[in-house]
Amino acid sequence: EARRAGKKLYLPVLRAKPDRALWFCEFRPGDPLLSNRFGIREPDIRRRPPQPPWGLDLILLPLVGFDAQGNRLGMGGGFYDRTFSFLRHRNHWHKPLLIGVAHECQQVGSIDAQPWDIPLDGVITEAGFYLQPKKNKKIP
């Protein structure tokens, strides 16, 4: 649907060590994917230049757990928090909307957020959409 609406789609690509952060590379149907150092398939940045995260409008993030305050529990590598750390320093500019993708059963009562954790703007599950953190409301 997004492609039919004229939108470009990007997939995350690991940045070189030691950054442990992500770039985003445009992906088109039929593009080859290469395995990164973790065996995760990602676009080949030699085909199209990677984009920084601040140049994107919407980013869907994987997660292990989330709470009603917009806190996200990831896989423990810190890749997404490092990638979006720029959001802690600037408030008055265009920024990507960060939406977690989860199952309803992944919601927990509370996650002990750390200073480096970047909160989500919302989470979408099979049961609806949770807008966070200011309006903690599920939208069916």
Catalytic positions are 72, 81, 117
Cα three-residue angle 122-70-136, rounded to 5 degrees: 70
Residue 39 DSSP one-character state: S
Q: Give the whole-angstrom CA distance, residue 120 versus residue 81.
A: 11
Q: Give the whole-angstrom CA distance, residue 13 versus residue 73.
A: 20
Q: Give the whole-angstrom CA distance, residue 29 versus residue 73.
A: 30
